[in-house]
Amino acid sequence: MSIGVKALAASYANLQTTGHNIANANVAGYSRQSAVLTPTPGQFTGSGYFGRGVDVAGVTRAHDAFLVREATGARSVASMDAARLARLQQLEGLFPPGEQGLGHAVTQFFDAMTDVTTQPGDLSARQVVLARAGDLASQFRRLGAAFDTLQGGVGADLQTAVADVNALARNVADLNARIVAAGALGQPPNDLLDQRDQLIARLAAHVQITRIDAGDGSAGLFVAGGQSLVLGAQANALALQPDAADPSRSALAISSGDAARTLDPRALGGGDIAGLLQFQNEDLVAARNLAGRLGAALAGAVNAQQKLGLTLDNAAGGDLFALGAPRALPNARNAKDPVGAPIGQVALTVVDPSRLQASEYDLRADPSNAGRWLLTRLADGKQTSIAGGDTVDGLRIDVGPGMPQAGDSFLLQPVTRAADGMALALGDPRGIAAAAAGTPVGALGSDGGNAAALLALRDAGIVDGRSAADAYAQAMATVGLQVQSGRTSAQLSTAAATQADQASASVAGVNLDEEAARLLQYQQSYQAAAKVLQVAQSLLDTLLQAARA
Beta strand 227-231 pairing with 234-235: antiparallel
- Angle in degrees, 0-180, between the axes of helices 284-306 and 468-508, rounded to the nearest 10: 180
Backbone phi, then psi, for 123, in 5-degree steps? -65, -30
Q: Is 340 left (phi over 0), alpha (psi -120 to 50) or beta?
A: left
406 SS3 class: coil
Sequence-distant (≥ 6) Cβ neighbours of residue 58 within 8 angstroms: 35, 36, 187, 188
Q: Cα dist. 223→74, 207, 212, 228, 459 in Å?
A: 15, 7, 12, 7, 52
Per-residue pLDDT of the chain (549 residues; tens, 9 = 90+): 888 888 889 899 999 999 999 999 998 889 999 999 999 888 878 788 888 889 899 999 998 889 999 999 999 999 999 999 999 999 999 999 988 889 999 999 999 999 999 999 899 999 999 999 999 999 999 999 999 999 999 999 999 999 999 999 999 999 999 999 998 888 889 999 999 999 999 999 999 999 999 989 999 999 998 899 999 999 999 999 999 999 999 999 998 777 789 999 999 999 999 999 999 999 999 999 999 999 999 999 999 999 999 999 899 999 999 999 999 999 988 887 777 777 778 999 999 999 999 999 999 988 888 778 899 999 999 999 998 899 999 999 998 776 667 788 999 999 999 999 999 999 999 999 999 886 655 444 488 899 999 999 999 999 988 999 999 999 999 999 999 999 999 999 999 999 999 999 889 889 999 989 998 998 888 888 888 888 888 888 888 888 886
CA–CA distance, 179 with 276 (Å, rounded to integer): 34
What pLDDT was estimated at residue 403?
Answer: 67
| Under 8 Å between Cβ of 45 and 177 | no
Which is nearest to 25 in space by CA: 512, 513, 420, 470? 512
What pLDDT was estimated at residue 412?
Answer: 96
CB atoms inside a 10 Å sphere around CB 23: 11
CA–CA distance, 411 with 363 (Å, rounded to integer): 6
Q: Cα dist. 472→12, 435, 438 in Å?
A: 74, 29, 35
- Side-chain half-sphere exposure of 330, counting CA atoms within 13 A: 21
183 SS3 class: helix
CA–CA distance, 192 with 118 (Å, rounded to integer): 83
Q: How far is CA 523 from the centre of its chain?
A: 53
Please list the alpha-helical segments (H only) found in 225-271: none
Instruction: Provide the 8-state DSSP code for 210.
Output: E
Q: Is 360 left (phi over 0), alpha (psi -120 to 50) or beta?
A: beta
Instruction: Provide the 8-state DSSP code for 457.
Output: T
* Cβ burial 120-155 (10 Å sphere, 16+ → b, else e): bbbeebbebbbebbbebbebbbebbebbeebbeebb
State the sign of the Cα–Cα–Cα–Cα dihedral 297, 298, 300, 301: positive
| Under 8 Å between Cβ of 359 and 379 | yes
What are residue 230's DSSP bridge partners? 221, 235
CA–CA distance, 404 with 102 (Å, rounded to integer): 40
Which is nearest to 335 in space by CA: 386, 401, 411, 402? 402
Maximum Cα interatomic distance, the chain, rounded to a whole number of Å:
148
Which is nearest to 306 in space by CA: 126, 136, 501, 165? 126
State the sign of the Cα–Cα–Cα–Cα dihedral 291, 297, 301, 304: positive
Please list the alpha-helical segments (H only) found in 93-122: 102-118
CA–CA distance, 549 with 148 (Å, rounded to integer): 102
Which is nearest to 63 in space by CA: 503, 517, 518, 514? 503
What pLDDT was estimated at residue 545?
Answer: 85
What pLDDT was estimated at residue 481?
Answer: 94
What are residue 298's DSSP bridge partners? none
| Under 8 Å between Cβ of 324 and 418 | yes
CA–CA distance, 495 with 484 (Å, rounded to integer): 17
Which is nearest to 115 in space by CA: 103, 107, 102, 124? 124
State the sign of the Cα–Cα–Cα–Cα dihedral 354, 355, 359, 360: negative
Strands (E), 414-544: 423-424, 435-436
CA–CA distance, 21 with 511 (Å, rounded to integer): 9
CA–CA distance, 201 with 223 (Å, rounded to integer): 14
Q: How is 48-91 classified by DSSP, letter by letter?
A: EEE---EEEEEEEE---HHHHHHHHHHHHHHHHHHHHHHHHHHH
185 SS3 class: coil
